[in-house]
Amino acid sequence: MSHGPEQHIEHAEHAVHASHDVFDKQVTISIAIIAAVLAAITMLGHRAHNETLQLQGEALHERSDASNHHIEASDQWNFYQAQNIRSHQYKQLLGLLEVIVAKDGESAAAKQQLLREQWKKQVDKYEENLPKIMAEAKSEKAIAKKHEEASQKKLEESHAVHERSMRFDLGELGLQLGVVLSSLAILTKMRSFWCAGLLGALAGLLVALTGVCGWFLDGGHH
């Protein structure tokens, strides 16, 4: 099982107190410094991974809301079409009624007028409701589009944060390599292992710093 940064620091401190060799002390102090930096990078990496998952969850939520509003918009458009068809039917009936010749004098004329009034009321009702139904459908569609745009934005943010987390992971790997190689330097008394460890740690730090720079460029929000 791999040791965490805190354990590296603890081991380094014990080694400093236990060692009387100057080289060992120098290497051990460098290990402690690398382990401290490693702890900070590990914390940033964990935070970036958590933010990636959070943003992906928010994107899915926005996408779900968009789907619901698309369904509502579709229902409103279907309702609008049905109401529009009925409105046209009543308009056709009114037009037909105008050309019907009354055969029974005043009685037929009275019935014709009654039908005309009833159908005219229906036409007026549809003429009043149709714009409202269309407006509701357009509103639902606009809301759905906003949720889709928000979902896409969250996904783009999650990709950016994930890229940053990968940089932290690579940086963490370089720093861990630095700890391991420096530890080997103490065991073997070979300065080459120490130099290699310092170079690995420096490379890891530089990679991690690109992730930190990306965090500041994004305004420090994610």
126 pLDDT higher than 90: no
Task: Tell me the whole-structure pTM to 2 decimals.
Answer: 0.64
DSSP 3-state of 112: helix
Q: What is the largest CA-CA distance in the chain?
A: 127
The 10s digit of each residue's pLDDT in 9-65 is 555 555 545 445 788 889 999 999 999 999 999 999 999 999 999 998 999 999 898
Residues 6 or more apart whose CB falls under 8 angstroms from that of 97 comprise 112, 115, 116, 119
Task: Report the pLDDT averaged over residues 127-153.
Answer: 87
The 10s digit of each residue's pLDDT in 141-171 is 888 889 889 899 988 888 888 888 999 999 9
Task: Report the pLDDT averaged over residues 6-11.
Answer: 54
Task: Report the pLDDT averaged over residues 65-86.
Answer: 85
Note the pLDDT of residue 86: 78
State which H helix or E strand residue 189 sits in.
Answer: none
pLDDT-derived band at 201, boundaries 50, 70, 90: very high
Residues across the chain: 222
Domain segments of the chain: what residues? Answer: 5-217
User: CB of 65 within 8 A of CB of 147?
Assistant: yes
Note the pLDDT of residue 14: 55
Note the pLDDT of residue 217: 59
User: CB of 97 within 8 A of CB of 115?
Assistant: yes
User: CB of 130 within 8 A of CB of 167?
Assistant: no
Owner of token pair 């009624």: 97
Burial call 141-172: b when 16+ CB within 10 Å, e when fewer: bebbeebbebbeebbebbebbbebbbbbbbbb
**79-93, 100-114, 181-195: which has the minimum mean pLDDT?**
100-114
Distance, CA of 119 to CA of 90 (rounded, Å):
6
What is the secondary structure of 89-106 as a DSSP string?
HHHHHHHHHHHPPPSSTH
pLDDT-derived band at 175, boundaries 50, 70, 90: very high
Note the pLDDT of residue 219: 54
Note the pLDDT of residue 182: 92
Neighbours of 179 (CB within 10 A): 24
Q: Between 158 and 83, name the one with better pLDDT.
A: 158
Note the pLDDT of residue 222: 46
179 pLDDT higher than 90: yes
Distance, CA of 141 to CA of 73 (rounded, Å):
6
